[in-house]
């Protein structure tokens, strides 16, 4: 079936640094979503991408829909302590109208 891979699996960065993480698949996806999950909470949608090559920003966050439609990238600029959490990418392909496939997540720790 369709699977997503995320890298890195975890990262520890200094406050103020920029962060990059990515999500890849062997399958084509039509939509990419990026979620952040804080401990004990549900995932919160950060950015949604709908077109290959699309670059979208949300405050300090920027995400891109890869041109091959098999990958997506999330960048966080000038990290702050509240950026700590798990970042999940999620994709929707052509096989199911309602089914979102989640990647395994990237755990981000920010050192003040």
Partner 1 sequence: DTEVTQTPKHLVMGMTNKKSLKCEQHMGHRAMYWYKQKAKKPPELMFVYSYEKLSINESVPSRFSPECPNSSLLNLHLHALQPEDSALYLCASSRVGAYEQYFGPGTRLTVT
Return residues touching partner 1 (CB under 8 A): 31, 33, 35, 40-45, 48, 50, 86, 88, 92, 96-100, 102-105, 107
Q: Cβ 69 to partner 1, closest distance in Å?
A: 14
CA-based nearest residue to 7, from 100, 93, 108 = 108
Q: Which is nearer to partner 1, 29 or 73 (CB)?
A: 29
Q: Which is nearer to partner 1, 2 or 77 (CB)?
A: 2
Structure tokens at 59: 């405050």
Q: Are 108 and 14 in contact (CB under 8 A)?
A: no
Instruction: Say how far apart CA 92 and CA 7 lie, in whole Å.
Output: 19
Q: Cβ 45 to partner 1, closest distance in Å?
A: 6
Structure tokens at 99: 């089914």
Q: Cβ 50 to partner 1, closest distance in Å?
A: 8
Structure tokens at 82: 């509240």
């Amino acid at each position: 079936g369709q699977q997503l891979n995320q890298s890195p699996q975890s990262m520890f960065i200094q406050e103020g640094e920029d962060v990059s993480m990515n999500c890849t698949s062997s399958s084509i996806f039509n939509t990419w979503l990026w979620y952040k999950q804080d401990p004990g909470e549900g995932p919160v949608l950060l950015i949604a991408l709908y077109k290959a090559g699309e670059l979208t920003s949300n405050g300090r966050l920027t995400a891109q829909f890869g041109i091959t439609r098999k990958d997506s990238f999330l960048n966080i600029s000038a990290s702050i302590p509240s950026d700590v959490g798990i970042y999940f990418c999620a994709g929707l392909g052509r096989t199911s109208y309602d089914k979102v496939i989640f990647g395994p997540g990237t755990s981000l720790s920010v050192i003040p």
